Chains A and B, each alone.
Chain A
Amino acid sequence: MRSYFSDFPKTALQASYWLFVIYLLLPLALMMAISFKDANFVAFPIDKWTLKWYAQVLQDKQFLEACAYSIFIALMTTMFATIVGVWIALLITTEGMIARSVIFALACLPAVVPGLINAISMRIFIRVLDIPTGTGAIILGHTVHAVPFVVIMVLTRLRSMPNNLVDAARDLGADSFVAFMRVTLPYLAPALAGGMVFCVLTSIDDFVRTFFLGGYQTTLPMLIFAKVQGGMSPEINAMATLVLIVTAAVGLYAEHLTRRSRTR
């Protein structure tokens, strides 16, 4: 274990770390606490506790529909982004491919372009092409944003792949497609799983692109945004808490998968 700040007092370092953790977690904890408050106002102290907001949220048709719609968009986005991302990663690692660094840079560009700029340009783009706003447009926008993450994760894994695995498969009778399906793809599995979960999370979380590209149907972030504008209520806290728990669980699982891919 290296020690970078050995001449600082240890307790000071530890204290500053815990301060950061509190800063990180306290707002979330407060939000969660309020969701159990048996009153209509978002304020402390909490005199009575209840689960009624959760019951209300889980029966809220609007909320459930928004969830389903968001998940649908996320899954479609993930599917397209994975196909395109893997394809680009393979292209970049193909020997003798010219301008590989250019391909890589272009593939990663959407990850660093500000969401707002990206959203506006996509909006103009679909107007020009006469694509209506709505589901298709949202998926298109989310996919563009998600592809770089798939590319980077798959590329990292591909680069650690021994060259002769595919040779061995070819040697044992596989044509190049079979070799890809039976050797390369399984080898990429941990990176793919991680990348796909990442796609799902970024898509569900996305507000700006959805706002510019969406139609009449609301996604989850749009619904919460609309509700917040109508005034804060513990019901929103309950919704947010549910979303937080589900996404945190999925995110941690993805981290677990990618960690395994790094160690294996």
Chain B
Amino acid sequence: MQPVVHFRNVNKYYGSSLAVDNLDLAIEPGQFVTLLGPSGCGKSTTLRMLGGFETPTSGEIFLDGQEISRLPPNKRNVNIVFQDYALFPHLNVRRNVAFGLELKGMASDAIHKRTMELLSLVKLTDFAERMPGQLSGGQRQRVALMRALAPNPNVLLLDEPLSALDAKLRQQMQIELKSIQKTTGKTFIFVTHDQEEALTMSDVVVVMNAGRIEQMGDPHTLYAKPRSRFVANFIGETNFIEGKLKAVDGGLAAIEWNDSVVHANLNGHNPAVGSTVAAALRPEAISVLSQKPTNTIAVSGRITQSIFKGDHTSLTVSLANGQSLVAQLDPVALSAVTGDDVWLTWRESDAVVLAD
């Protein structure tokens, strides 16, 4: 399938500082794609280059096979939902949504019909004659979304549109956005620094750092098999297990970790035996036991900190080998308090070796 959006060797400099570094990115049509990364990683610049508000210093951007990197924003069939919505304050909700349609020279009957259809999609028909200033944050968000969808763009760009909403509303909007994306079948490119947002909504997450793509994949793969320390650290909580690679057996690595030896999934990497490697291990992949299990490798330690998080308790366990691990305790399975001695174990494939 031809990608709907294709960045090819795109570089963007601001003065002498590199914002986007040789970006190569192909996006399949109909997907919900998230560009995820810390501020300054180049995700917004990437989005603005696609929208036409920045010009790449070098490289090409294709939209539906057409090179568009030098076209002005009004000549591109993409629309943006801006971070603070950018609703026109002098136009009511209906006229805001109709703005793009009017510029397309559509007949006014058709504009009205389409506008009302879109507003009913987000249950805002009763608010059609209100001014943006009279709406709540969530309502403005929906209007901005419908205004951007109205001209029927190939690709919808969303620039951290949920960051101004409170936590509850944000979760609600995540689900709503995802379902709108499904119903319309459009390609959504969503920019955020919030990993939870990215995991919740996306078909594909593109993790960016320092202007480059760190890893790209579906949320599950990214979470379970982070390729680098940056990705493992940025998405979710992680324990790092660092040590000398003792042996490689099939897809598994045996890592000498102080006095213990632990196994980890090689994850497609090919480090030399004897070199120092790091593996990532999610806290929830660790089982906390009160007694030493008989059939698997386990490490023992003492709980030094216990933080109640509602659905689970986060434990910091100091191990006999001098290291410490963060684990999640399922309060239904075991009740443990600070000072208790416990055994930690995990499936070998849940620890994954990182590239660096």
Contact = CB atoms under 8 A, between A and B. Distances in A.
B88 A171 contact: no
Interface stretch (B72-80, B253-261, B314-322): B72-80
Contacts of B82: 164, 167-168
A168 B84 contact: no
B46 to A, nearest CB: 16
Contact of A164 (B86, B90, B100): B86
B151 A168 contact: no
B99 interface: yes
Interface in B150-182: 151
Given A169-B99, A170-B72, A172-B147, A162 B104 contact: no
A175 B99 CA distance: 13
Interface stretch (A39-47, A142-150, A181-189): A181-189
A162 B84 contact: yes
A173 B103 contact: yes
Contacts of B51: 171
B89 interface: yes
Interface in B46-77: 51-53, 72-74
Nearest to B82: A164
A165 interface: yes
Interface in B78-125: 78-80, 82-84, 86-91, 99-100, 103-104
Nearest to B103: A173
Given A167-B53, A174-B74, A264-B133, A187 B86 contact: no
A228 interface: no
B72 A164 contact: no
A36 B151 CA distance: 65
A178 interface: yes
Contact of A189 (B90, B99, B100, B151): B90
B90 A173 contact: no
Contact of B72 (A165, A175, A183, A264): A175
B323 to A, nearest CB: 48
Contacts of B53: 167, 170
Which of A168, A170, A171, A178 has most B Cβ within 10 Å?
A171
Interface string A230-261: 00000000000000000000000000000000
Given A174-B74, A175-B72, A264-B133, A168 B103 contact: no
A168 B88 contact: yes
Nearest to B76: A171
Interface in B207-235: none
Interface residues of A, number: 19
B86 A172 contact: no
A162 B99 contact: no
Contact of B73 (A167, A178, A186, A264): A167
Q: How large is the interface on B (under 10, 10 to 19, 20 to 34, 35 or more residues)?
A: 20 to 34
A189 B91 CA distance: 13
A17 to B, nearest CB: 36
A88 to B, nearest CB: 23
A171 B74 contact: yes
A134 B193 CA distance: 66
Contact of A165 (B78, B83, B88, B133): B88
A171 B79 contact: yes
A205 to B, nearest CB: 31
Given A169-B99, A189-B90, A264-B89, A175 B84 contact: no
A124 B84 CA distance: 53
B23 to A, nearest CB: 21
Contacts of A186: 88, 90-91
Given A178-B103, A186-B90, A189-B90, A171 B84 contact: no
Contacts of A167: 53, 73, 80, 82, 86
B133 A173 contact: no
B125 to A, nearest CB: 21
Contacts of A264: 89, 133
Contact of A173 (B86, B89, B151): B151
A162 B86 contact: yes
Contacts of B99: 169, 172, 182
A68 B87 CA distance: 43
A107 to B, nearest CB: 26
Contacts of A182: 99
Given A167-B73, A187-B90, A264-B89, A173 B84 contact: no
9 contacts: A167-B53, A168-B86, A172-B147, A173-B103, A174-B103, A178-B103, A186-B88, A189-B90, A264-B89
Interface of A: 162, 164-165, 167-175, 178, 182-183, 186-187, 189, 264
Given A175-B72, A182-B99, 19 more contacts: A164-B84, A167-B73, A168-B80, A169-B88, A169-B99, A170-B72, A170-B74, A171-B52, A171-B74, A171-B78, A171-B80, A172-B103, A173-B100, A173-B103, A174-B103, A178-B103, A183-B88, A186-B90, A186-B91
